[in-house]
Amino acid sequence: MRLIKLKEVIEKTSLGRSTIYEFMAKDTFPKQISLGAKSVAWLESEVDDWIMEKLGNRDNGGI
């Protein structure tokens, strides 16, 4: 398991910060993990799974 910070999440997904947080609020993106008072990260495997789900949707005609 590897934790990644917001900068890497943005690089991996090509989404902006506000879009990531908007998707999280809608439960359509992996939730962050609190590491301390002002530090959060995401499980890389969950972000990768989200990307693969998007690819699967594309390959299945957007279903």
57 to 5, 8, 52, 62: CA distances (angstroms): 26, 23, 9, 5
Q: Which CATH architecture has domain 3-59?
A: Orthogonal Bundle (1.10)
DSSP at 39 = E
Distance of CA 59 to the CA centre of its chain: 20
Contact 34, 26 (CB under 8 A): no
Q: Parse the chain into domains and list their residue ranges.
A: 3-59
Place of tokens 């279903």: 63
pTM for the whole structure: 0.88
The pLDDT tens digits for 10-59 are 999 999 999 999 999 999 999 999 999 899 999 999 999 999 999 888 77
Element (H, E) at 27: none
